[in-house]
Chain A
Amino acid sequence: MLWLKLRELPRTFNTQAMSLTRQDVEKIAHLARLSISEQEMPVYVSSLSRIVDFVDELSRAETGDVLPMAHPLDGQHQRLRADAVTETDHHMKYQANAPAVSAGLYVVPRVIE
């Protein structure tokens, strides 16, 4: 079994090694659709490495064939409801928050030439 005592946590993770490279972070940022400036990049490489090292402690836990838990309450299931209209059309109200709208449609840069 593991065991970091609570009080040892801050020391345990005080590591200087970078477990993620700049290339890793660039790839993650692309997957997450985030632009990261040249200035921010080294900060993310180091802080994300530190977080990954920290959560890596989980690898020391013996989890065996424990059933993964996706939800805090057991016995929850997707409810069904009557097949009846309950919502009215609010698109004008909702689209009032959109950056660009035309004829009831959301406007984005051209995607098909």
Chain B
Amino acid sequence: MLHNLSIGELADRLSKRQISSVELTRHCLERIDRLNPALNAFITLTAERALKDAAAADARMASGEKGPLLGIPLIHKDIFCTDGVKTSCGSRMLDNFIAPYDATVVARLKAAGTVMLGKSNMDEFAMGSSNETSYYGPVKNPWDTSKVPGGSSGGSAAATAARMAPFATGTDTGGSIRQPAALTGVTGLKPTYGRVSRYGLIAFASSLDQAGVFARSAGDAAAVLQVMAGFDPRDSTSVDVPVPDYSKALGEPLKGLKIGLLREFFDGLEPRNAALIEEALNIYTGLGAETREVSLPHLPLSVPTYYVVAPAECSSNLSRFDGVRFGYRCSNPQDLMDLYKRSRGEGFGAEVKRRIMTGTYVLSAGYFDAYYLKAQKARRLITDDFRAAFEKVDLVIGPTTPTPAFDIGAKMNDPVLMYLNDIYTIGANLAGLPGVSVPCGFVDDLPMGLQLIGPHFAEATLLNAAHQYQQATDWHKHAPRGYE
């Protein structure tokens, strides 16, 4: 069936005119129509526009144009601004917001001829690890609808796992691509900080946010990253380094590749999870890679460090939502202060308010040194640990999450318990490193993820390592029951 084909296979059939983009788009829309009510993976569907864009892609192909993503449908996380289309960021605050321009990621993918099917559900302002903080209700995990899909890009992950589109965009500030990819059994790539433009991506924590992709294989992710990556003068933190040919790198043998096992990741790891990681390591040694243990002694600081740095940046970034220029405004404000306070108090949900207040506290007079400055120092220690490790190995490996998908509602009353979901993913964000999660087996019939983290701009190495693993295993080919 069309929805199980890779992006490469679809592009091939499209270019040979065996199928049209309109047919492919209709197929995806039909699946969404039928399967989404059980999952709630979307905030906005753009079916009409999609069919128009698909027809335009077909016209481009008819005139002889070819492209790896020409005519391929996709889903954008509702954090990316899409010109003329509601962009809510999962919040009541932006429920009425029609983006007046395209994010660079959206513009690049549009220029490549992709077809946007809709905007995916997400944790409010990307703050959450379960997709339960969305104003539009939780997303359900297609493997078991009583479970969360992970977050914050839960809608993109669930939709990719449910084969509603060949790929979806996401953002990863503390694990928001890798964690939901792991919990829904898909491949999720978070590129190096600065590799993909943040322009038009609604900011949460600007020194950590990075856009990336959900796909059903590393090969597909490589094709998408090829289009997303690259310098953008509109993002002051975009990095002007050449973009390699990611798909070309996928064939390279792993012989001699040095893989580091993070001692800290295995310490206390649940035995069934540890067994899956060991099994993956055996695959890698079978492919000729060498493994050795490495240590990141400051890694246990990463969660508290993150939960100072990210809220601090969030409290600053979200000050733009003031009820004046865009977004929600309270009714009958008494004065300007009342307008600010009630618009924000009513427009933001509980977790967003909690993070804004945490950030305000750690930045406030008398606490700045003890929290924010301290966290920035700890962040350097963690980053230096990674740097030292990458002098010995080409990439490090470990689990993506401590457990498989948990029950909806299970962790909503304890923010710290929720934050600990990100324990294995946050380090890469603090150090600005690329990371990928690939399916590596099941615990309690739920998918688990293997995480690979590399040095800055090592996406080609990571994608190749993930691809070779997927050539030797078929975990990434498993579909949830009812979504095959």
Contact = CB atoms under 8 A, between A and B. Distances in A.
Nearest to A78: B236
B98 interface: yes
B356 interface: yes
Contacts of A1: 297
Contacts of B354: 44, 47-48, 51
B239 A73 contact: yes
B379 interface: yes
A32 B100 contact: no
Nearest to A31: B360
A84 interface: no
A10 B420 contact: yes
- The binding surface of chain B is classed by DSSP as helix
B267 A34 contact: no
A73 B432 contact: yes
Nearest to A50: B416
Contact of B303 (A9, A40, A79): A9
A47 B358 CA distance: 10
Interface in A1-37: 1-10, 13, 20, 24-25, 28-37
A96 B98 contact: yes
A86 to B, nearest CB: 9
A30 B340 CA distance: 10
Contacts of B414: 50
A59 interface: yes
B100 A94 contact: yes
Nearest to A51: B358
Contacts of A104: none
A42 B364 CA distance: 21
Contacts of B98: 96-97
Nearest to A99: B329
Contacts of A68: 373, 376-377, 379-380
A44 B357 contact: yes
Contact of B370 (A59, A73, A109): A59
Interface string B414-429: 1111011001000001
Interface string A67-93: 111111100101101000000001001
A57 B304 contact: yes
Nearest to A64: B377
B380 A4 contact: no
A28 B326 contact: no
Contact of B348 (A2, A34, A98): A34
B251 interface: no
B304 A48 contact: no
Nearest to B417: A10
Contacts of A24: 361
B478 interface: no
A95 B327 CA distance: 11
A55 B362 contact: yes
A108 B441 CA distance: 56
B304 A58 contact: yes
A9 B315 CA distance: 26
Contact of B361 (A28, A81, A93): A28
Interface string B314-353: 0100010011111111000111111111101110101001
A103 interface: no
Nearest to B354: A47
A61 B373 contact: no
Contact of B345 (A6, A35, A66): A35
B378 interface: yes
Contacts of A34: 341, 344-345, 348, 353, 356-357
Contacts of B326: 94, 97-99
B13 interface: no
A8 B300 CA distance: 10
The residue among A8, A48, A95 with the most chain B CB atoms within 10 A of its own CB is: A48
Contacts of A5: 267-268, 300
Nearest to A67: B380
Interface string B280-314: 00000000000000000110110111011000000
Nearest to B359: A32
Interface string B188-207: 00000110000000000001
Contacts of B364: 28, 31
B344 A108 contact: no
A37 B229 CA distance: 44
Nearest to A107: B324
Contacts of B303: 9, 54
Nearest to A86: B233
Interface of A: 1-10, 13, 20, 24-25, 28-37, 40, 43-44, 47-48, 50-52, 54-59, 61, 63, 66-73, 76, 78-79, 81, 90, 93-100, 106, 108-111
Interface of B: 96-98, 100-101, 193-194, 207-208, 233, 236-237, 239, 264-265, 267-268, 297-298, 300-301, 303-305, 307-308, 315, 319, 322-329, 333-342, 344-346, 348, 350, 353-354, 356-358, 360-362, 364, 370-371, 373-381, 383, 414-417, 419-420, 423, 429-432, 456
16 contacts: A4-B300, A6-B268, A6-B423, A31-B360, A32-B344, A34-B345, A34-B357, A44-B354, A44-B357, A51-B416, A71-B237, A76-B194, A90-B100, A98-B326, A99-B327, A108-B339
